[in-house]
């Protein structure tokens, strides 16, 4: 993939996106317990290597991946590979599209999660795979030794098994799968720069649609959902419920080893930092919370109205790569008005941004 399908190849800026923020792994890597520090250090080293590989792809280009010949529109084309705890990608193919489930629960979860993500985007947003053109969905499981992360590398999904001390298998939360694949959708649409506020919007988009995919698979309304990202991923010893909370940013964990969830809910507590690509995983709590507030106000299934507004902005062609929170908020106001007129949807959008103190007009 060497060009952004918006028709502006010069805008294409592939990035390496992980679900676990680097500052969390940094904290673990400094722990005195080798059982915690060792896996975290190895994970950081692998992330650094994969990030470098992703930058090389920008320079030399990656091969295009087209829909398979004879592929039916609206049907996923999934392939799951097993790295067998090595780091060569993609690994050995263990399940293809239409193959029956096997004995490996990790393989089955990855397959089902890719399918759920495809279904949500096609059924509710009329998007045929993450590129809109039937892109095959490839994933690798059992990556690395105690690898404590999951990532989208611009071409495929990769899942670690975790260290079982802090992190469990990264295929357990379906929203992790949806989150990382949504980075692919962002890559093929607005291609938001992965730094500062546009980077936080990139992460927030992934959280929003990851959460919608989870809610869809569970049949939940906005009121039913827990709005947690990565629930079920943290091991029993960790004092926390997830990696992030869209409902209450800053409350997902408060642990002796991990520290406290640093996400702010409003611009009053916006974090200015050079770490984490300018706080992309930290300040994403602000637009995350705005979406949660909007979905709660509108009620029903969050993908029906709130999700439609966000998706319209992501794919509408007006969202700049370097968009700020205010830029994005103003576009959501315009999208709400265009789709629903001056009714409750527009008021709910304005109120949501006002509550997180982002100017939207």
Positions marked active-site: 180, 281
The residues, ordered by sequence, that sit 6+ positions from 329 with a Cβ below 8 Å of its Cβ are: 290, 353, 358, 359, 360
Q: Residue 75: beta bridge partners?
A: none
The residues, ordered by sequence, that sit 6+ positions from 183 with a Cβ below 8 Å of its Cβ are: 15, 17, 152, 202, 206
CB 210 within 8 A of CB 288: no
The residues, ordered by sequence, that sit 6+ positions from 123 with a Cβ below 8 Å of its Cβ are: none
Question: How far is residue 249's CA from residue 287's CA, in Å, rounded to a whole number?
Answer: 10
Alpha helices per DSSP H over the chain: 22-29, 34-60, 105-125, 174-188, 196-218, 276-279, 285-298, 306-315, 325-340, 344-355
Question: How far is residue 22's CA from residue 154's CA, in Å, rounded to a whole number?
Answer: 19
Burial (CB < 10 A; 0-12, 13-18, 19+), residue 164, is: middle
Question: How far is residue 145's CA from residue 104's CA, in Å, rounded to a whole number?
Answer: 18
- CA neighbours closer than 13 Å in the CB half-sphere of residue 233: 26
Helix (H) or strand (E) holding 157: strand 157-159
Q: Which residues of 122-152 are buried (b: 16+ CB within 10 A; e: fewer)?
A: bebbebbbbbbebbbbbbbbbbbebbbbbbb
Using alpha carbons only, how large is the chain's radius of gyration in Å? 19
């Amino acid at each position: 993939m060497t060009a952004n399908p918006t028709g502006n190849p010069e805008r294409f800026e592939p990035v390496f996106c992980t679900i676990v923020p680097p500052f969390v792994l940094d904290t673990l890597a400094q722990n005195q317990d080798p059982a915690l520090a060792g896996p975290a250090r190895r994970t950081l080293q692998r992330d650094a290597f994969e990030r470098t590989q992703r930058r090389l792809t920008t320079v030399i280009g990656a091969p295009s991946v087209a829909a398979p010949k004879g592929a039916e529109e609206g049907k996923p084309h999934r392939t799951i590979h097993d790295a067998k705890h090595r780091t060569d990608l993609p690994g050995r193919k263990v399940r293809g599209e239409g193959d029956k489930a096997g004995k490996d629960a990790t393989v089955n979860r990855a397959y089902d999660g890719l399918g759920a993500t495809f279904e949500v985007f096609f059924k509710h947003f009329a998007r045929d795979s993450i590129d809109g053109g039937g892109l095959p969905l490839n994933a690798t499981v059992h990556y690395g030794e105690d690898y404590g992360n999951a990532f989208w590398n611009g071409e495929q999904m990769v899942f670690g098994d975790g260290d079982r001390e802090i992190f469990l298998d990264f295929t357990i939360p379906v929203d992790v799968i949806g989150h990382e694949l949504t980075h692919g959708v962002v890559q093929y649409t607005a291609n938001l720069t992965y730094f500062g506020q546009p980077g936080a919007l990139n992460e927030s988009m992934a959280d929003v649609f990851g959460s919608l995919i989870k809610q869809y698979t569970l049949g939940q309304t906005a009121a039913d959902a827990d709005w947690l990202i990565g629930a079920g991923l943290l091991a029993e010893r960790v004092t926390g419920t997830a990696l992030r909370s869209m409902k209450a940013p800053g409350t997902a964990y408060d642990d002796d080893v991990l520290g406290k969830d640093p996400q702010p809910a409003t611009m009053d507590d916006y974090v200015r930092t050079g770490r984490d690509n300018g706080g992309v995983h930290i300040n994403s709590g602000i637009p995350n919370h705005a979406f949660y507030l909007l979905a709660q106000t509108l009620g029903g299934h969050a993908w029906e109205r709130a999700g439609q507004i966000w998706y319209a902005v992501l794919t509408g062609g007006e969202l700049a790569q370097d968009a700020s929170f205010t830029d994005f908020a103003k576009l959501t106001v315009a999208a709400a008005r265009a789709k629903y007129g001056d009714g409750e949807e527009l008021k709910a959008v304005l109120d949501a941004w006002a509550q997180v103190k982002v100017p939207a007009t």
